[in-house]
Amino acid sequence: MSAKTGIKSAEILLHLDLVCKGYGSGPKQFLAVKDISLDLKAGEFVSLLGPSGCGKSTLLRIVTGLNTATSGTVQYRGEALKGINPHATIVFQTFALFPWLTVEENVEIALKARGVPSSVRQERARKLIDIIGLDGFESAYPRELSSGMRQKVGFARALAVEPELLCLDEPFSALDILSAESLRGELMELWLNKSINSQAILMVTHNIEEAVLMADRIVVMGKDPGRIVSEIQVSLRHPRHRKDVSFQRLVDSVYAAVAGQTRPETESLGTAPGQPGATRRLPRALLNQLAGLVEKLSDEHGRADLYRIAGELSLELDDLLPIVEAGGLLGFLSVQEGDLLLALLGQTYAEASILARKEMLAGRVLRMPVIAWIYESLRRDENHRLAWEYFLDKLQADFGNRAEDQLDIAISWGRHAELFAYDDDTGELYLE
Amino acid sequence: MKQLYYKPAFPPRPAFTIGDALILLGLAAILYGGIRLAFDAPSVVSGPEISLSPWALPWYALLSIGRMAIAFFLSLLFSLFYGYAAARNPGARKVLLPVLDVLQCVPILSFLPVVLLSLTAILPEQFASEISAIVLIFTSQAWNITFSYYQSLTTIPSELQEASDIFRFSSWLRFKELELPFAATGLIWNSMMSWAGGWFFLMAAEIFHVGSYDFRLPGLGSYLKTAAAQGDIMAVLAGTGVLILIIVLLDQFIWRPLLAWADKFKLEMVEGSAEPSSWFLDILYRSWLMDFFQRKMAPLNEWMDQTSREKEATHPAPVLSLNEKRPLWLLALLIIGLIAIVYGGFMAIAMMMTISINDWIELGIGILATLSRVFSSLLIAMLWTIPVGVAIGTNRRLAKLLQPLVQVVAAIPATALFPVLLLALLRVYGGLNIAAIALMLMGTQWYLLFNVIAGAAAIPQDLRFTADLLGLSVLDRWRNLIIPSIFPYIITGSITASCGAWNASVVAEYVEFGGKTYATTGIGATIARATDTGNYALLLAATLVMVISVILINQLFWQRLYYLAEERYRME
């Protein structure tokens, strides 16, 4: 049932052309997604994959009409989208069930909003609850259900209105592993058997295996700004098996596509805040996590598969990538074809004593323009003390609404490397 | 025990802005308008006789409840519309929120003389008193309910909002299935608070007596006051008994069942251990009548859903945006309103210019005297509520035992007991002074107590264990654990309490009792005296001075402390 074997001249349901979404205006404008062009055909299951902050959820909201694009074309069946897309529904990551309505009422309310008379409503809701395997739970409240069952209700409610385009916003990420796996299987069964009336599925996820397991096409997104970096066709036959070599190979290449985008270029550390030119953003990682990763790599003799190491450390891609990025920025490690390589510097660090480590770290961290700038500002001040707001103010020119986040990371790194400290009571940074 | 914990809502805006100045000017303009009307008020007003027969009590009680109910439904209606407008329309919010913020801490009782006098000028006396009482109760009930509704609307989880968007709920369906259920618990708790506050004002508004003005309404409050003034102990006891009975009945038959019912609207996805329960609701659930009503209502419900949907399908709701062109009439209305405010404010200031220097000095001294009373009462309240509150809050068994008792006692309006207090204290030297502080204390200590209990109950168990393990001395334990933990709660309690104390000053500092007039120095006394002597300029000035002082103290002192507490001693 992949795009190739599907309907002969598949209709284009969704057409996006150069879609941008920005927040704020002027030089501080922050682009959530930039120049997205994408077509979705009938019969396709497409997955939007990328690290957090790459705008994949924003894109999903633009497609459904919950959010509007700042510029570009959004068409559904050849018509420009105005307001809520009447042909689409969403299954939400956090279920979005009404806690005060029972399972049946939660499904029925979607039909009620469309004006379906009450007798038909009840019948249809019961049937759907039966299909998803929740019969017996019609009069239960969501809080009485497990998370897996709750998401089933989420699916039933979305399917009740028989949407042409079914949008899934990380629908399995709030579930435990077993429930997620079984629900994935059940959804695929319904989809492949055409037991549901939806023509196409668009799923947002940051789970690479999930995308490879389910989708016909994977659209990989990168961040800063959110954009499409590559598209990967998945022509594996269903049912797909995680242990298959071809499956593993595909996962590896998708991993490389995602991780490759966050590969740091040492030459692009950027300029100091306030100076012309872009300033390199600090990744959202803790330095002690990086120390852990470096030690792990050292144990693995300096080379390890990214995908495997994520599994062994039980880290989600979203959590691992910033650490890898930080390691790259500091020159401790690098990424090559989906593998993590420990650099010489990293090897030295892993073998050093605690004291030596601090010294190394201080030297490396000072290479970051943001941190060097904070350190210099503090040194130039006669009391070696400056208010937090002072830095925030200046950082806003470079980072806009992410300035606070950046300052927090810089403080955490500076503290860890014992470059400077922060007094929470007075709200000041100071040299020790 | 968190249920009785009431938190005033402050927008993150500790500074005094032009908006505040405009609001104050608006208040001055309104007061001025009222006072202009009051010039035509009859010079003698005498209300109907209040019968002290116990047989009159049920009828009086019904009248009082009726006033409360009317005011409450008006408050609720107001809250739903005002809260909705503030939450949904960003343009309106800029005006509505600061107005609400100021109204929330204005001492409403200081408006009573102006409202009464101006209404008697244009309406028949009895009707005017009736309307004034309802207006007064309304102004004491509406703001916190409105804030609660506004806060609920703005904190609805975004995924639920999105779900109702994506399934294209009509506004009616959204209100019925999302907004109202989500806001229900907050609305009910705040309604309970409002009723408790409402009794306080009802008791004050049913008899307002200065000099030749004797405004009276037959009701429980006037019954109690008349009984106390005549020294009829039996009648005082009977009246108090009926009042307590009403409070208990309302609690058992209205509030408890509502709370137990609203428990299903809580957002938590886990089953709670201590769910509120109500025997009355259990009976209702099992009753045949309830079922019958529900079945009869279903078609109506269905019809509402359908019509609202069809209506919106043909006229889709316009998308609100900031840059939307405002209609001309709205602009004109705004300009006219602004002119009226500036004109009224200007006239008010001109009128106040006619007051002598001596009167201004008296106002200054009055404010200081009342301020010192407010703070003394607060201090006394803290002295006993902090140890008792901590004891109750950290001891489950004590809490279970005392909670219902404290709730009922707290719901008895202090103004109802005030006459009894006077009866006992007026013969003592400085008696009115003591009585005034006592009235403030009775009205305010409960807010503080509930907050301290809530704070103490929120101290994490592991911190308490740690303190035990470290073997901290009693002093160290208070200094390092208890006081920092309950500090934010003390502040929030104090803010509400001091608002109540200012209100109490109006009825407490100047009383007519047993045919004689007693007065002490204070801004409340000045307001009453100005009403009595028909010195309208002084009345205007005194009311405004009081309002402005309270707002300033709130902004400069309490809000700052509040932010400090939020920032420094927050448990995360």
State the SS3 of B17-76.
CHHHHHHHHHHHHHHHHHHHHHCCCCCCEECCCCCCCCCHHHHHHHHHHHHHHHHHHHHH
User: Phi/psi at B157 (nearest 5 deg)?
Assistant: -55, 140
In this model, does residue B318 exceed pLDDT 90?
no
Position B273 in a domain: no
Quick check: ipTM above 0.90?
Answer: no
Residues B408 and B283 in one domain: no
Length of chain A: 432
Interatomic CA distance for residues A422 and A429, integer angstroms:
4
Contact residues, chain B, for A142 at CB < 8 Å: 269
Position B10 in a domain: no
Interatomic CA distance for residues B195 and B278, integer angstroms:
19
Helix (H) or strand (E) holding A23: strand A12-23
pLDDT of chain A along its 432 residues, tens only? 444 444 445 788 999 999 998 877 666 567 888 899 999 999 999 999 988 778 888 999 999 999 889 889 999 998 898 888 889 999 999 889 998 899 999 999 999 888 888 888 899 999 989 888 888 898 999 988 998 999 999 999 999 989 999 999 999 988 888 889 999 999 999 999 988 889 999 999 988 889 999 999 999 998 778 889 889 999 898 889 888 889 888 888 888 888 765 444 444 667 777 776 667 788 888 888 899 999 989 888 888 888 788 888 888 777 888 898 888 888 888 887 778 888 888 888 888 888 888 888 888 888 888 898 999 899 888 888 999 888 988 888 777 778 888 899 999 999 888 889 998 888 889 987
Q: Which residues of A touch B (CB under 8 A)?
A: 61, 64, 66, 83-84, 86, 88-90, 92-96, 98-101, 109-110, 112-115, 118, 141-144, 150, 157, 161, 425
Residues B284 and B360 in one domain: no
Position B5 in a domain: no
Q: Could you give the percent of chain B with pLDDT greater than 70? A: 89
What type of residue sits at position A74? V
Residues B448 and B539 in one domain: yes
Instruction: Tell me the sheet residues that pair with A230.
Output: A220
Nearest to B422 by CA among B169, B135, B209, B229: B229
Position B116 in a domain: yes
Signed CA dihedral, A324, A329, A335, A338: sign only: positive
Position B28 in a domain: yes
- Token pair, residue A331, equals 């020159």
Residues B416 and B556 in one domain: yes
Position B346 in a domain: no
Q: Tell me the CATH number at B72.
A: 1.10.3720.10
User: Rounded to a whole number, what is the distance in Å from the CA of B92 to chain A's nearest CA?
Assistant: 21
Interatomic CA distance for residues B60 and B217, integer angstroms:
9
pLDDT for A266? 43
Q: Decide if B145 contacts B79 (C-beta within 8 A).
A: yes
pLDDT for A264? 46
Domain that holds residue B286: 279-309
Residues B188 and B47 in one domain: yes
Dmax over CA atoms of chain B, in Å, equals: 75
Residue A12 three-state SS: strand
Position B399 in a domain: yes
CA A426 to chain CA mean position, Å: 36
Burial class (CB in 10 A: 0-12, 13-18, 19+), B21: exposed
- Which DSSP category does B555 fall into? I
Position B466 in a domain: yes
pTM: 0.78
In this model, does residue B550 exceed pLDDT 70?
yes
Local confidence band at B481 (pLDDT 50, 70, 90 cut-offs): confident
Burial class (CB in 10 A: 0-12, 13-18, 19+), B248: middle
| DSSP percent split of chain B into helix, strand, coil, nearest 5 | 80, 5, 20
According to DSSP H, which parts of A202-244 are helical? 208-214
Cis peptide, bond prior to residue B299, ω within 30 of zero: no
Residues B469 and B363 in one domain: yes
Residues B373 and B300 in one domain: no
**Which pLDDT tens digit goes with each residue over B177-200?**
999 998 888 888 888 878 888 888
Residues B285 and B261 in one domain: no
Q: Decide if B492 contacts B453 (C-beta within 8 A).
A: no
Cis peptide, bond prior to residue A239, ω within 30 of zero: yes
Q: To 5 degrees, how large is the angle CA B220–CA B226–CA B230?
A: 145
Per the CB < 8 Å rule, is A98 touching B177?
yes
Residues B238 and B299 in one domain: no
Instruction: Check CB contact of B484 with chain A, cutoff 8 Å.
Output: no
Residue B214 three-state SS: strand
Residues B485 and B550 in one domain: yes
Of B159, B264, B271, nearest to A100 by CB-CB distance is: B264
Residues B295 and B191 in one domain: no
Among B290, B309, B328, where does a domain finish? B309
Residues B155 and B197 in one domain: yes
**Which pLDDT tens digit goes with each residue over B511-530?**
777 667 788 889 888 888 88
The domain total for chain B is: 2
Of A96, A99, A150, nearest to B162 by CB-CB distance is: A96
Distances from the Cα of B12 to the Cα of B99, B156, B559, B563, angstroms: 14, 19, 10, 9
